Amino acid sequence: MPRGQKSKLRAREKRRQAQIETQRSKSQRSRRAPPTTNTSAGVSCTRSDEGAKNQDEERPSTSQASASTDDPHRTPLDQKAILLVEFLLRKYNMRDPITKQDMMRQVIKKHKAHFHVILKKASELMVLAFGIDVKEVDPIRHRYVLVSKLQRTSDDRLRGEKIMPKTGLLMTILCVIFMKANCAAEEDIWEVLNVMGIYADKKHYIYGDANKLITEDFVQERYLEYRQVPNSDPPRYAFLWGPRAHAETSKMKVLEFLAKLHDTVPSAFPAWYEEALRDEEERARARFASLLRIGTTANVPSGVNLGSLSQL
């Protein structure tokens, strides 16, 4: 005899309760998640946020304090960690470098003494939820970058768009380097940037310290390489594409960028177009070659699914 609806529901409920109980005893922290609907979280945020029209300069601590009223298990440090996650995600999206100073000023605020704990919690959440590592690249000046733990694939770009939202400047530089036979003198770069109103000695409204950005930040992020010209005295420097630029974009993409700026097509620059085409062929060949390698060798890094041939 098949069981009736009611007894099925009762059994299901019992099983679920048992599940929740075992989870609670298993988990280290036994914290429960906050309200189920985002609306209620949002409303409780705003109630103490804004009084009058233009009074929304409230510190995030106010909003996050009320956001937790529905969940007594959230400690203030957890709340800060959540706000730090929001902060970091916005930096990831814009590919900005992150300093401890920024984090302190914008998010940590009065919890300065607990910076490391908050950062550690936030980093854990970043890894678990988004597969993003928070890495300290400069332990002296306390600068961090966000790196995906997941392997990059060539198809990560939809419709061939640039992945780098912090676009114009980097693309322009990559363009100049390409046009100067893949190695551009520092003076060449500044000549172009100056035309755009970006100067080495003046703070730019969007890019800030442009000199630091291109000689340090982009280099650290491996988009550019900044090398001394051999035997130059006084020392002169040149820029080359960094490995990340090679991975995330291509000569053809950069040429398309240039063509768009001049309202034309890549083939309007025959010499560069030739080179870009050769580069595309080379990439296709490399992809094909590594496909064969993955299929035939047993030497596969852990975590790579042999069945997924598109993972390069």
| Beta strands, E only, the chain | 98-99, 132-138, 143-148, 184-185, 224-228, 237-241
Residue 14, CB-side half-sphere exposure with 13 Å CA sphere: 6
Report whether 110 contacts 148 (CB < 8 A): no
Among positions 118, 132, 210, 238, the unique one binding other proteins when judged by CB under 8 A:
132
Site for other proteins in 221-260 (CB under 8 A): 260
Q: Please give the Cα distance from 301 to 130 (Å, whole number).
A: 21
46 binds other proteins (CB under 8 A): yes
Which one of 49-57, 170-178, 220-228, 230-238 is the stretch in contact with other proteins (CB under 8 A)?
49-57
Residue whose entry in the numeric block shows the structure tokens 């919890």: 111
Distance in Å, CB of 45 to other proteins, minimum: 4
Among positions 96, 217, 221, 279, the unique one binding other proteins when judged by CB under 8 A:
96
99 binds other proteins (CB under 8 A): no
195 binds other proteins (CB under 8 A): no
86 binds other proteins (CB under 8 A): yes
* Identity of the amino acid at 223: Y
Site for other proteins in 61-80 (CB under 8 A): 63-64, 67, 73
Q: Please give the Cα distance from 258 to 254 (Å, whole number).
A: 6
- Please say which residue, 71 or 216, places its beta carbon nearer to other proteins: 71
Report whether 215 contacts 238 (CB < 8 A): no
215 binds other proteins (CB under 8 A): no
Distance in Å, CB of 139 to other proteins, minimum: 23
56 binds other proteins (CB under 8 A): yes
Distance in Å, CB of 233 to other proteins, minimum: 39
Tokens of 6: 């009611």
308 binds other proteins (CB under 8 A): yes
94 binds other proteins (CB under 8 A): yes
Q: Please give the Cα distance from 131 to 144 (Å, whole number).
A: 16
203 binds other proteins (CB under 8 A): no
Q: Please give the Cα distance from 276 to 178 (Å, whole number).
A: 9
9 binds other proteins (CB under 8 A): no
241-265 exposure pattern, b = at least 16 Cβ within 10 A, e = fewer? bbebbbebbbbbbbbbbbbeeeeee
263 binds other proteins (CB under 8 A): yes
In 3-state terms, what secondary structure has residue 208? strand
161 binds other proteins (CB under 8 A): yes
- Please say which residue, 131 or 228, places its beta carbon nearer to other proteins: 131
282: which residues sit within 8 A by CB, 6+ positions away?
Answer: none
275 binds other proteins (CB under 8 A): no
50 binds other proteins (CB under 8 A): yes
Among positions 113, 181, 205, 262, the unique one binding other proteins when judged by CB under 8 A:
205
130 binds other proteins (CB under 8 A): yes
Among positions 58, 186, 225, 280, the unique one binding other proteins when judged by CB under 8 A:
58
* Identity of the amino acid at 17: Q
